[in-house]
Amino acid sequence: MKTFLTTTLAILFTLSSIAQDKPSYRLYSKKGKKTSYKKLLKQAKKADVVLFGEYHNNPISHWLQLEFTKDMAQKRKIILGFEMIERDNQKELNDYLKGTINQKAFDTVARLWNNYKTDYKPLVDFAKNKSLKVCACNIPRRYANSVFKGGFEALDSLPAAEKKWIAPLPVPYDAELPGYVAMTSMEHMNHMPQKMKENMPKAQAIKDATMAHFILKSLKKNQLMIHYNGAYHSNNYEGIVWYLKKYRPDLKVVTITTESVPNVKKYENEGAKADFIIQVDEDMTTTY
């Protein structure tokens, strides 16, 4: 009788623990099936490029990026790439990695995002401590703004030295990609002049193309590039993915995306946004 009561209490305690479980995130496959971090590592190990799509202010994204990077560094030779650091700051980034300038100087000479110290510095410092290469992959913002105002042709008059910070011109462009089409249908776009409305996805495309270009330019044989970018740049296998495949059809790419949802225990969204989907509880605090 005592054994029966002990067993019954143990079962009740287990069920109670499960009922009270409040996970902050869950990992799902592109088919919407619950999957594991171990499976993510296994698949990523075979890739040439991993695009880690984040919500820029989501602490779970940033924590998993760091943990994933540390774990992959034990399995593969890796190089890191950032949307958050613009190509014309590559020299300053290299100087920081080599230790010829300190963090204060890096803050001064590079256009770092406001959340750099909390969200991206841990990744850059990991690379610094492990002597890993880091790619500043994004187009300088001023050139993306030029495309928004004047289309791709606004880049034609740039000096040759500055064009080196951009994907080779003219860039391939498909205005019918669903992600680019969706940008023009956003409510706030309705009050925008038609020309700027047409140029908005072009400004996104020049960022995607430039990041893809420098990912490929930086990637060496038998290396894995882990690239950190806003989820929108790689969701639905568009954006950066489209350009990577355009430039290198044989490339093995694994995508990760982040979503904020009311219930992480049940996958409810439709469509395969990425190979792995991090669903984060919508009540999770943000970094800014």
Angle at 251 between CA 87 and CA 29, to 5 degrees: 100
Question: Please, which residues have CB within 8 angstroms of residue 32's CB and are 6 or more apart in sequence?
Answer: 267, 269, 277
Q: At what angle do helices 240-247 and 194-218 cross, to 10 degrees?
A: 60
Confidence of residue 203 (pLDDT cuts 50, 70, 90): very high
User: How does pLDDT run across 54-109, given as a tens digit for each residue?
Assistant: 999 999 999 999 999 999 999 999 999 999 999 999 999 999 999 999 999 999 99
Annotated domain spans of the chain:
25-281
* pLDDT range class, residue 7, cuts 50, 70, 90: very low
Mean pLDDT of 147-167: 97
Per-position DSSP letters for 176-197, written without gaps between them: TSHHHHHHHTSGGGGGS-HHHH
**What does the pLDDT look like over 23-52, one tens digit per residue?**
899 999 999 999 999 999 999 999 999 999
Q: Pick 279 or 9 by higher pLDDT.
A: 279
**Higher confidence at residue 257 or residue 18?**
257
Alpha carbons 110 and 88: distance in angstroms, whole number: 9
Sheet holding 77-86, edge to edge: 25-29, 276-281, 253-261, 49-54, 223-230, 77-86, 134-138
Question: What value does the mean pLDDT of the chain take?
Answer: 91
Cβ-based neighbours of 147, under 8 Å, separated by 6 or more = 154, 155, 199, 202, 203, 206
pLDDT recorded at residue 20:
60
pLDDT score recorded for residue 95: 98
Return the pLDDT at 190. Answer: 66
Q: How would residue 189 be classed by pLDDT, with cut points 50, 70 and 90?
A: low
User: Which amino acid appears at position 92 of this protein?
Assistant: E
Please give the DSSP secondary-structure letter assigned to residue 168. P
Do the Cβ atoms of 236 and 179 come closer than 8 Å? yes
Per-residue confidence (pLDDT) for residue 22, from 0 to 100: 83
Lowest mean pLDDT among 3-12, 90-99, 146-155: 3-12
Q: How far apart are CA 276 and CA 38, in angstroms?
A: 12
Task: Kindly state the average pLDDT of the residues 236-246.
Answer: 98
255: pLDDT strictly greater than 90: yes
pTM over 0.75: yes
What is the per-residue pLDDT for 197?
86
Alpha helix segments (H runs only) across the chain:
2-20, 37-44, 59-73, 90-98, 103-109, 121-130, 141-150, 160-163, 178-184, 194-218, 240-247
Q: Residue 269: pLDDT band by 50, 70, 90 thresholds?
A: confident
* Residue in this structure with the two tokens 């950190």, named with its chain if needed: 228
| Cβ–Cβ < 8 Å for 261, 279 | yes
CA–CA separation, 192 vs 48, rounded Å? 40
pLDDT at 13: 43
CA 99 vs CA 78, 102, 128, 230, 247: distances in Å: 20, 6, 8, 28, 34
Using DSSP's 3-state secondary structure scheme, residue 142 falls into helix
- Architecture in CATH for domain 25-281: 3-Layer(aba) Sandwich (3.40)
| pLDDT recorded at residue 184 | 81
- For residue 85, CA distances in Å to 54, 115, 141, 181, 280 come to 15, 12, 10, 27, 25
Q: Do residues 66 and 120 touch, judged by C-beta distance below 8 A?
A: no
pLDDT of residue 185: 76
